[in-house]
Structure 1
Amino acid sequence: MNVVIVDDTPTNLQLMSGLVQRLDGCRPLLFADSGSGLWWCLEHDPDLIIVDYMMPSPNGLEFIRQVRREPRHADLPILMVSADHEKQVRYAALDEGATDFLNKPVDGVEFLARARNMLALRRSQLALAGRALTLAEEVRRAVADIHDRERETIIRLARAAEYRDPETGSHILRMTQYTELIAARLGLPKDFQEMLLHAAPMHDIGKLGTPDHILLKPGRHTPEEFEIMRRHTLIGYEILKESSSRAIQLAASIALHHHEKFDGSGYPRALAGEAIPIEGRIAAVADVFDALTSERPYKSVWSLEDAAAYLRDHRGRHFDPACVDAFFDCWGGVLEIGHRFDGA
């Protein structure tokens, strides 16, 4: 334990140094100049400070005030040495943050008793801080484990939908990466971006409830068939909505809202503008762009230029203008994702 002793009287320094050396596991650090002692305490981590009141600037009160301004020294034990009759000084020292006092002239028995008490307090503080760090690490690992399990659940659910519709495998990967790009460009919080990356793969999970003869039909759907296809948004929401996981709750919202349109002509609820949650507006841009540039049973592949033109033409109608602008602001990233997951 590092015990800092600050006193401009050499005799007092030597006396207190000798007493500290009688305490097990303690090392005295002596400063006759209070400024040097203050600098050392601010740069290092003492375990106990013993400081005289009557010294050239900074005196004991100013010394304590400066030490307490350092957040990590907020609870550090500090003993002030003062005369017993200096009541006003003691009151001021308590206000500045002194923990206890030593009377002048210093009595060896009293010194050792008070120093032991202060060092016991310090050891308890350090033990408590160590325990807090251990608990924080245990919590971090537990939360990471929960997040890993959530991600595994999400991936497995997304794969379940993929088995129903094999064409969507690489679509899920690209669409998910596009959503993160848009969210980052919009300046949304980092934790939301990460959660979106894990939630977006389940946007079409409701297709598990769509009959194969409609889901895999090689051609355009009849109005009746399209009405059944539209239900995948509601089915996906019902599958996911009651999860306690924030990521899966976000996935439920994406499943429900990714076919809403900015002008209110989408489905299933015909929401408009900012009444559509931001995750739904982001997913709409990412989903449609990748669907257009992917081959499906009912359509051929669109060129990148034509798909980009479609997004621009429907900016403010189908799509949130801010999301479209963010998408094109990251056009280089869009092309890189398309190349990386081409046929994945």
Structure 2
Amino acid sequence: MTEYIPQTVLVVDDIASNIETLVTILKNDYRVKVAINGKKALEVVNSSEPPDIILLDVMMPEMDGYEVCRRIKSQIKTKNIPVIFVTAKNDGGDETLGFELGAVDYITKPIHPLVVKARIKTHLALLNHNLLLERQVAERTKDLYSTRLEVIRRLGIAAEFKDNETGQHILRMSKYSHTIAKGFGFSNSEADILLNAAPMHDVGKIGIPDSILLKPGKLTSDEWEIMKTHTLIGGKIIGVHDNALLRAARTVALTHHEKWNGQGYPEGLCGENIPIEGRIVAVADVFDALTSNRPYKEAWPVEQAFDLLLNEQGKHFDPKLIDIFFANIGQILSIKEQHTAEETSLT
């Protein structure tokens, strides 16, 4: 059986007799913490065990209750703690100010035990209900994200089978993209979105005929024009969505063959008109394609691939991203070594 742990009430008042009265009323139903001034109250609120609800006096020396409430509500980690003002001030303007600062209730002195208990019970019940709803929303959001992510991964795998590429290629270029994105200044969450969107870069190859996609020799000009349509096909497969992950996946699919100098496809975008996600994946994808075996070529030595990236800096590739690539070359090569070894062990 789960042990019942009572919720915690923080009583803040500069008069000892007022604190004693409230402690007597509440001690049988709640854990009660006390503070004799605003500074002590904030220390308790910001401790490792903050209260669940606060009974806060208004008229205190040095820092009044309004200022204490203002500071509590200004911090992300404490702003949701319910604050009930307990005061002898009963002017309507005082109550209005209290509510404007974020308090949930206002009890005037002299207090009545039943009123205090009823107000605390009500607001703790509302707090607990809201916390439950937040957890449920968070869980459902996590499930939805996981489902979308799995769909993207499955489509990425489908494209791999079509293109005769390995899962390790997808994994390597995604991790290269993540590394470059972090170096560019992406937040952790933004870089993670790109990590999970990058595998969709070539999903449009599902719509390219095998006779072209798997041709061991050089493509004719007509075949090449068909091959280039895989970017547009990928954009259509993914579609237009508000979701950040799917939005990034579509951007990557459409723009990873655009070039900094405007000579890429499908739109001939140039410079910073190319979305940053597409510019990053372009570097990651080309490096891994060059250093991997393909039906039509042997893997290049990394030094030769490095030379091509440098020669194409400012032409094919965003020059800043090439600088970031080489600034993180240790991590790039570690990713390559790890996942090339895994690929070899599977063959």
TM-score band by shorter chain is: 0.7 to 0.9
* 1:25 aligned onto 2:32: no
Q: 1:78 aligns to what?
A: 85
2:308 to 303, 307, 310: 310
Deviation of 1:166 (Å)? 2.1
Distance 1:80 1:41, change over 3 A: farther
- Is the Cα–Cα contact under 8 Å of residues 12 and 41 in structure 2 kept in the other structure? no
Alignment of 1:229-268 (within 5 A): 229-243=227-241, 245-268=243-266
Distance 1:227 1:118, change over 3 A: same
Partners of 1:5 and 1:180 lie apart in 2 by: 49
Deviation of 1:50 (Å)? 7.8
Q: 1:106 aligns to what?
A: none
Deviation of 1:330 (Å)? 0.9
Q: 2:118 aligns to what?
A: 120
Structure 2, unmatched stretches of 5+, are 1-7, 46-50, 73-77, 99-104
Alignment of 1:56-67 (within 5 A): 58-59=60-61, 62-67=63-68
Aligned length: 318
Partners of 2:97 and 2:247 lie apart in 1 by: 50
Alignment of 1:219-238 (within 5 A): 219-238=217-236
Q: 1:99 aligns to what?
A: 106
Structure 2 letter corresponding to 1:127: A
Partners of 2:300 and 2:179 lie apart in 1 by: 21
Alignment of 1:192-341 (within 5 A): 192-243=190-241, 245-341=243-339
1:169 to 163, 167, 170: 167
Q: 1:39 aligns to what?
A: 40
Partners of 1:41 and 1:249 lie apart in 2 by: 43
Structure 2 letter corresponding to 1:209: G
Structure 2 letter corresponding to 1:25: D
Structure 2 letter corresponding to 1:167: E
- Is the Cα–Cα contact under 8 Å of residues 56 and 65 in structure 2 kept in the other structure? no
Structure 1 letter corresponding to 2:106: T
- Is the Cα–Cα contact under 8 Å of residues 26 and 117 in structure 2 kept in the other structure? no
Deviation of 1:64 (Å)? 2.5
Identity %: 37
Structure 2 letter corresponding to 1:253: T
Structure 2 letter corresponding to 1:254: V
Partners of 2:227 and 2:339 lie apart in 1 by: 26
Structure 2 letter corresponding to 1:255: A
Higher Cα radius of gyration:
1
TM-score when scaled to structure 1?
A: 0.80
* 1:149 aligned onto 2:147: yes
Mean Cα displacement is larger for which, 253-262 or 71-80? 71-80
1:182 to 180, 183, 195: 180
Distance 1:198 1:46, change over 3 A: closer
Query: 1:155-189 deviations in whole A, cap 9, x for unaligned?
Result: 11111111122234322111111111111100023
Structure 2 letter corresponding to 1:220: K
Query: 1:185-222 deviations in whole A, cap 9, x for unaligned?
Result: 00023222111111111111111111112111112112
Deviation of 1:102 (Å)? 2.6
TM-score when scaled to structure 2?
A: 0.79
Deviation of 1:334 (Å)? 0.7
- Is the Cα–Cα contact under 8 Å of residues 39 and 63 in structure 2 kept in the other structure? no
Distance 1:258 1:48, change over 3 A: closer
Partners of 2:272 and 2:255 lie apart in 1 by: 12
Q: 2:136 aligns to what?
A: 138
Structure 2 letter corresponding to 1:80: T
Partners of 1:250 and 1:256 lie apart in 2 by: 10
Structure 2 letter corresponding to 1:267: Y
Partners of 1:49 and 1:189 lie apart in 2 by: 39
Mean Cα displacement is larger for which, 166-175 or 316-325? 166-175
